Amino acid sequence: MNEQEAREQLQVLREQLNTYNYQYHVLDNPTVSDTEYDQKMKQLKELETAFPELITPDSPSQRVGGPPLEAFEKVTHRVPMLSLSNAFNEGDVKDFDRRVREGLGEETVTYVCELKIDGLAISLRYQDGLFVQGATRGDGETGEDITSNLKTIKSIPLRIKDHSAMEVRGEAYMPQQAFARLNEAREQNGEALFANPRNAAAGSLRQLNPQIAAQRQLDIFLYAVGEWESGTLESHSERLTYLQELGFKTNPEWRKCQGIDEVLDFVHEWVEKRAALSYDIDGIVIKVDNLEAQEQLGFTAKSPRWATAYKFPAEEAVTKLIDVELSVGRTGVVTPTAILEPVKVAGTIVQRASLHNEDLIKEKDIRIGDTVTIKKAGDIIPEVIQVVIDQRPEGLEAFSMPKECPSCQDELVRIEGEVALRCINPNCPAQLQEGLIHFVSRLAMNIDGLGEKVIEQLYRESYVHTIADLYRLEREKLLQLERMGEKSVDNLLAAIEKSKENSLERLLFGLGIRYVGSKAAKTLAAHFRTMEKLQAASLEDLIAVDEIGDKMADSIVQYFEDEKVQKLLAELKELGLNMEYNGPNLADISSDSIFADKTVVLTGKLTIYTRQEAKQQIEALGGKVTGSVSKKTDLVIAGEEAGSKLTKARELEIEVWEEEQLQTALEGDTTS
């Protein structure tokens, strides 16, 4: 077969397979057997292997592929992905309608009601009809580029017939059957179970390896247009119809409603019918249908005035409280948790529920052996809301919190102004273990291979009691532990050794100083630069730092005055841990630096630097590196095979450098 024949055959196969995908995954109406589909896919891959130069981005073979990513790039949404205001009852819905009618000066408004899918909000960008980028909602302004993972969702078309620049938005979700299969497999493998389909979908789309995402059987419903170069439709309902015509999967259960009474009828209908769906919903989205009216109503700082989300009431269930389990957290707070007879609530089996604190238990008079009503707040967190008093057996004793710590048996105290009971023993085993888990976590020292179960094992075997002990672990001893082979031990020790190089802010956060989160840790590290200077800082010195309040400053001073802390830090320094901030000193950056206050985008394949190296060096010279090109971008660094970002930079007439120019700037020519 020559190249032209292969090209023609590939075109036929791709069209057939894309049609089969659409019929199966969008229309739910398969027209060929799995065997026939697999045979066509095999032919396609064999031809593409023989003629790799003929592989196209929209080929069905490209839905899963490519090496795992190191990290997700950031994406700035050209049109912000705002959240919706919430309505929790009929009164809230009627208030929304009143505000809309007053804003438009109309007596009756036409709305579109849609099911609120309980998944992960995403955007899909198409250029010249080709799917070029997919992103998470993130904070509404900036999300993460998850294109490779979204390509694994077979109901997302890789090519559409509308060739104008277009961004569509929707909700990626995990069907209930796929969720059940996933958790069953995780249970068999001894892995932690996902709490609900939404968490599973979000976790799947944030896998750095697209092949893992592909195994999770995700799906999607599209419901909006964010940006559309040639859009001429006049209503949201017309847009939904057009999205379906383009081959997008839209949820069929939407309805145009004339006035708020029809809206409420739709709401009541789905409160009753939601349990029959094969996917989770947590409410109804209500939107003004007319697009000109939407524009007239506009937006608040956080949400559109022309839409709201009616949230279903939290689902309740009645069960029996078997016991109260007490756990000691990293800061010594003792938290009670209800142990329940298993009961199904909002689609999941619940066996534990929050009791919050002793005051709440007393206020609700909750006793072990009671029949209780529980609910999932926001359909996520189970909590005990009340006791069914008329079902209380005789003789049940009132519950009282212990006076001693369940872990170390030291006396518990209640600090003035707090409702929680707290263990203040610094050598409490539970606190030490939780502290170790926190220290190695992703935002702290980020030590791969030291998960919660490994920490528990090391603590149980008395290999570690303090943070410093982690850096004294011996290879021979680790090899004696269960599920610890030579490769995993070597990888673990290498990760521990590498963590010694971490910048000061990671160590500060990992130490678990009360009130000091990851952001405050970075602020402190950037200001004081070294652990020694931070230790010596007075209360006044700390309060003078932006974003450091009196309460946090007082906690920091008390922490560093502790002799045990001073001893620990001396040990860590002796063990080789870095005690300095590795980030840029903004005060030292010259305003003449070529990168000072500049927004820079890296695109294409860099050969002189890794992306991380280039990013760090640019930021050290006062620049800000972002993941997408916009009017706010000052400079684009284009490596080999630079694509759409370079094209957009040229369209916006943004300055573009080759990597050699970046090298020249970083190696000395850093001022203008």
CA–CA dist 206, 311 (Å, integer): 26
Start-to-end Cα distance in the chain: 58
The label of the residue with tokens 């560093």 reads 560
Q: 404 pairs with which residues across the strands? A: 411
One-letter amino acid of 159? R
CA–CA dist 556, 552 (Å, integer): 6
In this structure, are residues 223 and 124 in contact, taking their beta carbons and an 8 Å threshold?
A: no
- Give the per-residue SS3 of 506-548: HHHHHHCCCCCCHHHHHHHHHHHCEHHHHHHCCHHHHHCCCCC
Q: Where are the alpha helices (DSSP H) in 134-259?
A: 147-150, 176-188, 197-205, 210-215, 236-245
CA–CA dist 282, 119 (Å, integer): 10
State the DSSP code for 24.
I
Q: Catalytic site residues?
A: 116
Q: Quick one: tokens of 554?
A: 């007082």
CA 457 distance to own-chain centroid: 29
How much is the CA Rg of the chain, to the nearest whole Å?
A: 29
* 28 phi-psi bin (left φ>0, alpha ψ -120 to 50, beta other): left
CA–CA dist 262, 111 (Å, integer): 9
| Cα distances (Å, whole numbers) of residue 248 to 168, 218, 220 | 9, 15, 9
State the DSSP code for 277.
S
Half-sphere exposure at residue 519, Cβ-oriented, CA atoms within 13 angstroms: 3
For residue 109, give the nearest of 238, 232, 240, 256 by alpha carbon: 256
In this structure, are residues 343 and 350 in contact, taking their beta carbons and an 8 Å threshold?
A: yes
In this structure, are residues 29 and 23 in contact, taking their beta carbons and an 8 Å threshold?
A: yes
Q: Quick one: tokens of 231?
A: 């859009």
Name the strand (E) or helix (H) holding 421. Answer: strand 421-423
CA–CA dist 219, 106 (Å, integer): 39
CA–CA dist 3, 46 (Å, integer): 14
In this structure, are residues 625 and 612 in contact, taking their beta carbons and an 8 Å threshold?
A: no
CA–CA dist 297, 316 (Å, integer): 37
